[in-house]
Chain A
Amino acid sequence: MTVNALRMTGATKSYGRTVALDGLDLVVEEGRFFVIFGPSAVGKTTALRTISGLVRLDRGSVDLFGQDVTHAPIAGRGVSMVFQTFALYPHLTVYNNLAYPLREAKVASAEVDRRVKEVAAMLRISHVLNRKPTTASGGEQQRVALGRSLIQRPKLLLLDEPLTNLDAKLRHDMRAEFKRLHREFGITIVYATPDELEALSMGDEIAVMRQGKVVQVGSPDELYDRPRDVYVATKIGAPAMNIISAKRGREASTIELPFGEVSVDPRKSWAAVAADAAAGESFLLGVRPYDLKLTGSSGYSGEVRLVEPLGDLTVVDVHAGGAELKMVLPEAQAAGVRHGDRLNFAFDAAHAHLFRPRDGAALG
């Protein structure tokens, strides 16, 4: 049986009138690379700080490896954390930064030296050991912060937006580095990020947060293919899913869109919902930009408003019947597309999603 590294139940925390966590529930299995995803100020950092013991909950509980630590002190949790700002000790050398947690734990100095050098070699920061952290590059500082966490051999490693303060190239390298470390150490990682690319590329499992709550937990594929609501649908995947206001058509098998009609695929789970609805009932239809295809002369018609070439792919903004849509086209297809052109497009309803307008919940 797998052990739960972390279980948060009904975790609630307010700062004055600001509710940071609003009944948060999380379960992280041991050995997972678990991502908490959500835009800024959604409660990710508070969640991590609660797990580490820096923040005490108003209500709810935190279990680590089967032990209730809700009211336990920070020490002895076996948790370490890498901060968004790296939070290195500016007055100490890199060596002493790495040694700090071991010295606080009264580890013998020979052992401290051995472990500092081991971690430094593994993270390729041996050449900056005698320097102050501020003289190291951003990527090196990041690795020092990571090293200071790993040297404690934590059972659970918390990473709070560790790549936000790095440039794009370094972010790419460090994503690979984190995955490598996760594989090599087999450590449980909880990783908070506002970046869906980081979330999708690194997470075994992703919890999407909104206003102090978890909206949906799942593997990257589950979140991408079966978003629970419009919020998740538009947060996961870039460019964001097109959300189009729709109505049930006069016939049970059709959905009316601003630019035309689409037949409901009976295989799709939401087909029955659409069929049961009254004619004219409102829905929101979601289509991923990748699922919109160019067609020769058939299909729907729209006008190109913006062309953004991204190398292999091109993002095209299309205005169709009052709806603004984004399409992602392969470079070859997009080559002739210009601002102001009219083009025809279609999509397979089997790849579309249907949501309830009232609360954005996925139907079916």
Chain B
Amino acid sequence: MTDAALPRLAMRRKSRVSRGVGHAGWGRTIGAGVVSLIYFFPVLWIVLTAFKSHSDALAVPPKWLFTPTLENFVQVFNRAYSADGVAVDTKFDLFFFNSIFIAGTSVALALIIGTLAAFGFSRYPLKGNQTYLFIILTTRMLPAIVVIIPILIMFRVTGLAGTYVGIIMLYTAFNLPFTIWMMKSFFDELSPDVEDAARLDGSSDTKVFFKICMPQVYAGIAATAVFGLILTWNEYLFALLLTGVQTRTVPVAMAQTIGGDIGVRWGLLAAIETLFLIPVILVTFFLQNHLLRGVTFGTVKR
């Protein structure tokens, strides 16, 4: 470092302090950029691969410059299953619909049930409240594979296997512990005085919940929804074993495209993944302001 640079550096340090966050300086910005790129690289590579032809996708060393093609995206929905076969409908439109419908419905159900339950746990504690909460969480302490056989048998016996109702019920049940715990922590943060003030202002308990408590935890609901959605969206094991041809979700269908007579079609897989990313990215993007407030709830003095 030259002597001339020293006063400038000192000045920059000073201004950084006075201007607070958001002025971390070039060094840190570039550092953060490099780390972000390392994290983002797999996603970037998948998106690039989605636009490559089969030979470009397999090229060694990897090709950075290539002629982009939409062929893979077309093939997601319509392709031949053998080299000389006729292109047929892959039903991927149905699988995408299934993924959206099943994840969306089960997350919404878990939010409705979980939010009400969480409010109960927070505001009307039972005798042994903590024990109940703990028991609810224990369902998430086992790996899913441990319970898969009894669940499989239950689904066979009740005829729920392969139905929307079955898989939605299961995902709802699996989302509930997380939803209840998250939402309870948000409700716990609220001032009970505010609710009492509303009661004195003439509101019934139902109105207190909907008009006073709920609007204060929208950020929490958004955060919980995004986390639940991501978990459900990517779920593979239950979907593999408990959905049928009509209710198959994208992760299962994606895995089943592997194979056939030309080996793994990386371009095709990448195209499916790229499409599969879009809904979650959109949801997260629209909720991101709430998300940040949601996950930092209670850490800032109000």
Contacts of B201 in A (CB 8 A): 80, 100-101, 104, 148, 152
CB distance from A106 to the nearest CB of B (A): 9
Residue A290 lies at the interface, judged by CB distance under 8 Å to chain B: no
B216 pairs with A81, CB closer than 8 A: no
B191 pairs with A85, CB closer than 8 A: yes
Interface residues of A, dominant DSSP? loop
A83 pairs with B302, CB closer than 8 A: no
Q: Beta-carbon contacts of B253-275 to A below 8 Å, as 1s and 0s?
A: 00000000000000000000000
Contacts of A279 in B (CB 8 A): none
Contacts of B202 in A (CB 8 A): 74-75, 101, 104-105
Closest to A54 in B: B196
A87 pairs with B216, CB closer than 8 A: no
Closest to B190 in A: A90
Contacts of B194 in A (CB 8 A): 87-90
Given contacts A87-B191, A104-B203, contact A81 B197 (CB under 8 A): yes
Residue A134 lies at the interface, judged by CB distance under 8 Å to chain B: yes
Residue B212 lies at the interface, judged by CB distance under 8 Å to chain A: yes
Most buried by B among A49, A53, A101, A105: A101
Contacts of A12 in B (CB 8 A): none
Contacts of A148 in B (CB 8 A): 197, 201
Given contacts A101-B201, A152-B201, contact A87 B196 (CB under 8 A): yes
Residue B199 lies at the interface, judged by CB distance under 8 Å to chain A: yes
A100 pairs with B198, CB closer than 8 A: yes
What are 28 of the A-B contact pairs (CB < 8 Å)? A49-B196, A52-B200, A53-B200, A54-B196, A54-B199, A74-B199, A75-B202, A80-B200, A80-B201, A81-B197, A83-B196, A83-B197, A85-B193, A87-B194, A87-B196, A88-B194, A88-B197, A89-B212, A90-B194, A90-B216, A91-B215, A91-B216, A100-B201, A101-B201, A104-B203, A104-B207, A148-B197, A148-B201
Q: A74-B200, A104-B207 are in contact. List 19 more A-B contacts (CB 8 A).
A: A52-B200, A74-B199, A80-B201, A83-B193, A83-B197, A85-B191, A87-B191, A87-B193, A88-B194, A88-B197, A89-B198, A89-B212, A90-B194, A90-B216, A92-B215, A100-B198, A101-B201, A104-B203, A148-B197
